[in-house]
Structure 1
Amino acid sequence: MTELEGLELRWIDIPLVSPFRTSFGTETARRVLLVRAVTGDGEGWGECVAMDEPVYSAEYVEGAAQVIRDFLLPRLGRGADPWKAEEAFRPVHGHPMAKAAVGAALLDVWLRARDTSFGEFLGAVRPAVPSGVSVGIMDSVPELLDAVDGYVAEGYRRIKLKIEPGWDVAPVRAVRERHPDLPLQVDANTAYTLADARHLARLDPFDLLLIEQPLPEDDIAGHAALARLVATPICLDESITSAAIAADAIVRGATSVVNIKPGRVGGFLEARRVHDVCAAHGVPVWCGGMLETGIGRAANVALAALPNFTLPGDTSASSRYFATDVTEPFVLEDGALLVPTGPGIGVAPDEAVLRALTVRTEFLPAGPAR
């Protein structure tokens, strides 16, 4: 059995082509933690989707690096098996984004050694996935309309609008009036409470695909109550941290659509379980995004090719966020992204670009499992 030689942590700073504003803040650049697993069979890459500050979730870049260094790698030892790694990490409570980054790197090298792609391994059923785009909160409705017009012209098949109290009904109405037949959805990132139910019901006339995560992530009961008060389907994102939680939320009537983010559920093995649970309950899923570089995007595109991903996700082209990606850029073709077919994630970082963006690196040698 191939042994793990160690993990390289690499911090990069990559600027965004334009500011991205949500209900919890504005990003102009991404501080990204990349994980490279080194084994006797080669290397594999994973991307930690934690933000620089703990505003989307409790995880953040430096915290994730510490968890990998002090708690995950010591439990991993020299083992490079992705399933055994998942089991070894269970005693560490929380930190799914750190676990997912290491797990993706291990899965990448494991699949590369077997000349198998992520898509083939996960169970992809289509060669390309329809691409949607997430549009941040803007300073004005005309600015929003210009942005949406541009994305529609590029060929994106679905538009998602970020909303918050004070920026919801008016911008949604304006976009719907401009684009009557456009597949359209909104994302609140937990910005509302159940007391806002009557206000959120004002979005019902706009024929939205869904309202994503309107209430706090721990309020499953509140989402179930809201689903009875609005006609637009409720989709859960931050609330869904495992396949078991997904099943519970579905049974309780809190969600009729699920956004799957591998980093949020602890990795691609659990993400596939969430997909399967939702499929068994007849609940469609789509693949969310966390402004990933090409490393994280490649694996997400493969995941989004599974059969129950029936709605366009946030698997946008590289140019949506970055002037220069760390891998060969993902390009929109007829409103879709091609699923990589090469071994592992199917892409590799451009060494020159990676060097230019790197802030620092740290190599963590593997040792005996504790």
Structure 2
Amino acid sequence: MDIATIELFVISMPLKSPFVTHLGEVREREGIIIKVTDKDGVEGFGEGVAFSTPWYTEETVRTSLHMLEDFLIPLLQKHPINHPEEAAGLFQSIRRNPMAKSGLETALWDLYAKGQGQSLAKMIGGTRDAISSGVVIATDTITKALKQIEGYLEDGYQRIKVKINPSQDYEFLSAIRRHYPNLPMMADANSAYTLKDIEQLKALDDFNLLMIEQPLAHDDIIEHAILQEKLVTPICLDESIVSFEDARKAIEIDACRVINIKIGRVGGLHEVIKIHDYCYERGIPVWCGGMIEFGVSRAHNIALASLPGFTIPGDISASSRFWDEDIITPEVKVEKGFVTVPDGPGIGYDINEKRLQQVLLTKKTFTI
């Protein structure tokens, strides 16, 4: 990999409608697009998916920029690599900061796949030509939720995820079940509960949910094991799984029976593939989570979800779910509940340069 330059584009776009959870409300999405160009002019793209504020993890757009500019890019300048898998080992000298690492590592994967003339999906072991698509309901009233669900089902989405918290769970889910008794549905708590709420969470077994995602603390595994023993509904871990070792330990103690995999949360595709393979060998279902991404990260998620272990529809919705206009072309579309996996080189999407410039805040270029 004869890298010539690395460019960082900080962009910002308004969401078509607010994304609401008990942790806060997102109306404007800021992020980092990372472009790696080799000496032959081949370009690879990745996306830093940290938010502007540390509500989901401790990382933010600003901290990611700091890590990229002052540590990760200098490492590549000093230590050239031949394959994107080598980046994971190179970045181990820096603790945590997985979203900054992932943004750069995924750009390297896209560049490498394009250099090999191969789709990223096939390169990492993908077996599907199309992936099933789910969508998230994140609003504060039952009326709004039912209206959103009606629209998404018309669009063909195959699974609905509902954001819940202790003041908005049983009644909320009950209303949805009355309207849609057979709807494939899961609930996402984003760490809103504690073990004091066991009886409240046990009551949610009434709704035949696919899973309850991250009900307890964002960094917990032990108490989730205690809770899982009391529930019929499978627990899915999200924020608690930031590495392969976290996944291995959680599975060993039965802290969860499903894992949400996000490339940015665990530091890149190399780590994700390790987690996928471990779960696949043990019959643990996995699915691809979303981060209110722009098109670049969405494209990487599509490639990832083509792996055989991704048996549950992920949070990979159409570009139009969040944006009036995305930064990739063609935009991601959901047709009859599925997203086609591109077979072109790399991620299989091009950058919409005009749109990128329209939403650009700052740009920095580094010579390797």
Contact 2:155 2:335 in 1 (8 A): no
Taking the TM superposition and a 5 Å limit, the aligned residue runs for 1:280-319 are: 280-319=281-320
Distance in 1, matches of 2:66 and 2:4, equals 19
User: What is the CA deviation profile of residues 247-296 of structure 1, one whole-angstrom value per residue up to 9, with x for unaligned ones?
Assistant: 11001010000000000010011111110011122100000000111111
8 Å Cα contact 1:137/1:167 also seen in 2: no
Does residue 248 of the first structure (1) align with residue 249 of the second (2)?
Answer: yes
In the superposition, the TM-score normalised over structure 1's length comes to 0.96
Match of 2:357 among 343, 355, 358: 355
CA distance in 1, matches of 2:84, 2:44: 12
Deviation at 1:56, TM superposition (A): 0.4
Q: In 2, are the aligned partners of 1:79 and 1:85 still within 8 Å (CA)?
A: no
Cα shift at 1:4: 1.8
Distance 1:334 1:363 in 2: 41
- Alignment partner of 1:333: what SS? coil
| Amino acid in structure 2 at the alignment position of 1:326 | I
Aligned amino acid, residue 101 of structure 2: K
Deviation, structure 1 residue 62: 0.8
Instruction: Tell me the equivalent position of 2:89.
Output: 87
**Which residue number in structure 2 is paired with residue 33 of structure 1?**
32
State the Cα distance separating 1:306 from its structure 2 match: 0.8
TM-score norm. by structure 2 comes to 0.97
Taking only the aligned residue pairs, the percentage that are identical comes to 42
Task: Give 1:6 deviation, angstroms.
Answer: 2.5
Give the Å deviation of 1:124: 1.1
Q: Which amino acid aligns with 1:71?
A: F
- 1:152: which partner in 2? 153
Q: Which amino acid aligns with 2:24?
A: G
For 1:117, the equivalent position in structure 2 comes to 119
Partner of 1:56: 56
**In the alignment, structure 1 residue 267 sits paired with structure 2 residue 268:** yes
How far apart, in 2, do the equivalents of 1:325 and 1:74 lie?
30
- 1:74-126 CA-partner distances (Å, limit 9, x unpaired): 11116253122211110100000000000011111111011011110111111
**CA apart distance, 1:204:** 0.4
Distance 1:323 1:165 in 2: 33
Residue deviations 1:19-49 (CA, integer Å, cap 9, x gap): 0011211001110111111211311100011
* 8 A Cα contact 1:124 1:302, kept in partner: yes
2:9 corresponding residue in structure 1: 10
Deviation per CA, 1:107-153: give whole Å up to 9, x if none: 11111011011110111111100100011032x21121111111111
Instruction: Report the 3-state secondary structure (helix = DSSP H, G, I; strand = E; otherwise coil) of the residue aligned with 2:351.
Output: coil
Instruction: Quote the Cα distance in structure 1 between the aligned partners of 2:90 and 2:193.
Output: 37
Aligned length: 364
Residues 217-239 of structure 1 show CA distances to partners (whole Å, capped at 9, x for unaligned) of 22211000000111110000011
Does the Cα contact within 8 Å between 2:103 and 2:264 map onto a contact in 1? yes
State the alpha-carbon separation in 1 of the partners of residues 281 and 86 from structure 2: 26
Superposed, 1:153-172 pairs within 5 Å as 153-172=154-173
User: 2-side partners of 1:28 and 1:274: how far apart?
Assistant: 32
Aligned pairs for 1:154-233 (under 5 A) are 154-233=155-234
Say if 1:130 and 1:336, in contact at 8 Å, map to a contact too: yes
User: Which amino acid in 2 is paired with 1:17?
Assistant: K
| Cα pair 2:235 2:255 within 8 Å, conserved | yes
- In structure 2, what residue type is equivalent to 1:75? L
Find the residue that maps to 2:93 and give its secondary structure: coil
- Which residue identity does 1:259 align to in structure 2? N
> Following the alignment from structure 2 to structure 1, what is the Cα–Cα distance between the partners of residues 219 and 106?
27
- In the alignment, the residues of structure 2 paired with residue 234 and residue 84 of structure 1 have an alpha-carbon distance, to the nearest angstrom, of 33
SS in 2 for 1:228: helix
Q: CA deviation at 1:310?
A: 0.5
Structure 1 contact 137–163 (Cα < 8 Å) conserved: no
Find the aligned partners of 2:332 and 2:230 in 1 and give their Cα distance: 40
**Offset at residue 317 of structure 1 (A):** 0.7
Runs of 5+ in structure 2 lacking a partner? none
- In structure 2, how many angstroms separate the alpha carbons of the residues matched to 1:319 and 1:48? 20
Candidates 103, 106, 115, aligned match of 1:104? 106
1:343 to 323, 334, 345: 345
The alpha carbon displacement at 1:329 in A equals: 1.0
Paired residue secondary structure (1:235): strand
Q: Which runs of 5+ in 1 are unaligned?
A: none
Residue type of the alignment partner of 1:37: V
Which residue of structure 2 aligns with residue 69 of structure 1?
69
| 1:136-189 alpha-carbon deviations (Å, 9 max, x no partner) | 032x21121111111111111000001112111111111111001110001011
Which letter does structure 2 place at the counterpart of 1:279? Y
